[in-house]
Amino acid sequence: MFEALPDAKPDAILALMQEFRADTRTNKLDLGVGVYKDGEGKTPVMKAIKSAESKLIDTQETKAYVAPTGSAPFCSAMIDLVFGADADKTRIRAAQSVGGSGALRVLADLMRRSRPDAKIWVSDPSWPNHIPLLGAAGFELARYPYYDVNTGKADIDAIIGSLSTAASGDIVVLHGCCHNPTGADLSQDDWNKIIDVMLEKELFPFVDIAYQGFGKGLEEDAMGVRLLAERMPELVVAASCSKNVGLYRERVGAAIVMGRNEAEATRAFGSLTTVIRSNYSMPPDHGANATEIVLTDGALNTQWREELESMRVRMVGLRKTFSDAMRKRSNSDRFDYIAEQNGMFSRLPLTPAQIDTLRNDHAIYIVGDGRINVAGLPEGSIDELADAICNVIAESEQS
């Protein structure tokens, strides 16, 4: 049976996570996988979620099936979170999904049923798993350049230039906020320019929002989705609760569709239900149930928002401290962009050899494209980290 299978190519981020776990050095530092960490390097369960879980255990009376699309109140709360409480819900539907990745996959499957010949455009660079995940849904992929390494910003002219060559009906994946891996987000003006091209070329927006609340704030980070909802006739959104509710391993997310009208939204939701039923049948309940409590219970909702905000503020502070340290150590302003970027990630201009040296000689783990997880920056020893990075760069530039 299995003799014809090719050797599997490991996922860069997950392989690094395994390597880090196996490393026995006590001074090791993980700047790899995108998981929030506190000042002690831990990823605790959020307090609001702990309380919601206790409440759930005390009150839940059955573990009977919910539905392929999960809990309706959870889905409604997710629509409010992403689209805003004033959104026109008559033409928006959501299905609870197996994390943000599960949402990406079922939405891709849904669109492939409807538009099998469309190409799907993904930013270059992007989250590495976008490529195999969307490819596995059967789509032909195309890339649009996204990032200007010289400014540390999204390269809006290059984005527009590239998307202008897309064919009518093509699908464009847009990171809702906190672009992974660059941390370079689109301004309101950039979003509007992209929407202009999408309207002109009749392109379809597919938003991946996995870090809402980690950039500028819960409402602010939804700006792109909300502009799209205002100006585009239809769209889909994959939302993740892994980071902003801290439920990584529980796999909680939502696959959201906005149709041109109520009938089309209902039709899309019907097909989405079929896609889910024919795949994993129904999503797991526990994490989404706890999230539903946190999103709908007044006191727990306030507590969750405060916790999330303090995580965000901590990351903003770490960005500034690290960028200042790099400015001092490198005697240049070439790392100032780190303080300007959003969310959990930024990219350092490191070669693969420099990344290997940092891992082998200093036990510092950075993803192969130079991506660092800002939340993993060591609060008490950022100067030492900046020294190590700048020394490795200087040594390799000399040799």
Site membership for ligand LMR, residue 215 (CB under 6 A): no
Q: How far is the CB of 96 from ligand LMR (least distance, A)?
A: 19
Contact string (CB under 6 A) for ligand LMR, positions 297-316, x = contact: --------------------
Is residue 304 flagged as an active site residue?
Answer: no
Looking at the Cβ atoms of 33 and 141, the one nearer to ligand LMR is: 33
Closest residue to ligand LMR in the complex (CB): 34
Q: Which residues contact 368 (CB under 8 A, 6 or more apart)?
A: 12, 16, 352, 355
Q: Which residues contact 225 (CB under 8 A, 6 or more apart)?
A: 82, 83, 176, 207, 209, 235, 237
Is residue 167 flagged as an active site residue?
Answer: no
* Selected catalytic residue, list 30, 170, 185, 208: 208
Q: How far is the CB of 180 from ligand LMR (least distance, A)?
A: 5
SS3 293: helix
Alpha carbon of 379 to those of 37, 178, 211, 313, 328: distances in Å? 11, 21, 22, 13, 17
- How many residues in the shown chain lie near ligand LMR by CB under 6 A? 6
Site membership for ligand LMR, residue 127 (CB under 6 A): yes
Contacting residue, 51, 123, 162, 180, with ligand LMR by CB under 6 A:
180
* Selected catalytic residue, list 108, 154, 184, 210: 210
Site membership for ligand LMR, residue 129 (CB under 6 A): yes
Looking at the Cβ atoms of 153 and 251, the one nearer to ligand LMR is: 251
Looking at the Cβ atoms of 37 and 91, the one nearer to ligand LMR is: 37
Is residue 9 flagged as an active site residue?
Answer: no
Distance (Å, whole) CA 188 – CA 349: 27
Query: Which of 299, 288, 366, 374 lies closest to 337, judged by CA?
Result: 374
Contact 257, 92 (CB under 8 A): yes
* Residues 222-251 interacting with ligand LMR (rule: CB under 6 A): none
| Residue whose structure tokens are 């970027």 | 341
Looking at the Cβ atoms of 203 and 247, the one nearer to ligand LMR is: 247
Looking at the Cβ atoms of 358 and 374, the one nearer to ligand LMR is: 374
Q: Which residues contact 56 (CB under 8 A, 6 or more apart)?
A: 286, 289, 290, 293
Contact set with ligand LMR (CB under 6 A): 13, 33-34, 127, 129, 180
* Residues carrying an active site annotation: 127, 208, 210, 243
